[in-house]
Structure 1
Amino acid sequence: MTINLSQCFIAVDDHDKALAFYRDVLGLEVRNDVGFEGMRWVTVGSPEQPDVEIVLEPPLADPGASPADRQAMAELLAKGLLRGVIFSTDDVDATFERLRAAGADVLQEPIDQPYGVRDCAFRDPAGNMLRFTQPRKS
């Protein structure tokens, strides 16, 4: 039996801003862009991982949600408390410089972690935390 990761989900409040970040800054490819019942889902992924996608979804992807639930989700998203993703890279320092130069919101500059990686962190335009990591060189 084989089990592989296929998709993960990130809530975004503005798909166009999210696309400008994930596609234009990170270099992910857009695989799908679907509208349904007034909502929008966009899938992006690394060209090096054709079988793994990130779904950029509305903060509360439920057309029957109450206004109070929508407001609560919007507040959590604004605080950066919903989801995060960890990307691997072969050069965390170059990745950091590219994202910083593009104006990404820096949370943590590259540092060596005691658990064997060098990493940095940013927030995407919706406030989600994104970490970029590489194994530390021995």
Structure 2
Amino acid sequence: MSGESYSKRELTAIGAFVVASVLIGVGAYQLGFNLSGGRAVGAEMVAASAPAPVSGQSLYASNCAGCHGGKGEGGGVGPALANSLTWSLEDFSNAVLNGKSPDRELSPVMPRFAVTGLDGETATDEQVKAIHDYLGTLK
């Protein structure tokens, strides 16, 4: 490109294009600012009013199904859960959290969710109840 230069007409067109682009940009900004009443416009973040409900099905799938089967039918490691359906919520909680069924100590393979937590968080009564309720739907 050495030795080549733009003609006066080309330079005028480039200058006009730059000026028009700047004016359009500034005008669009001003129009948006005026339409918003002088405040920032965009997505607003609003805190959720209540936490999402605990899903027993999801908790069961991620913490229990690997050993007890997708429908509590038992698997290679854990037994079927049909018997636990007759347990009270208190007995079920003791089994899930501490590895103690109403009549015996559960296998050491059974996690003690009071220690390990559910889904990486400290296990809550609400979560255990949700799993217990979900198992009741599998009858």
Same fold (TM over 0.5): no
Q: TM-score scaled by structure 2?
A: 0.21
Q: Greater helix share, 1 or 2?
A: 2
- Higher-Rg structure is 2
Higher fraction of strand: 1
In the superposition, the TM-score normalised over structure 1's length comes to: 0.21
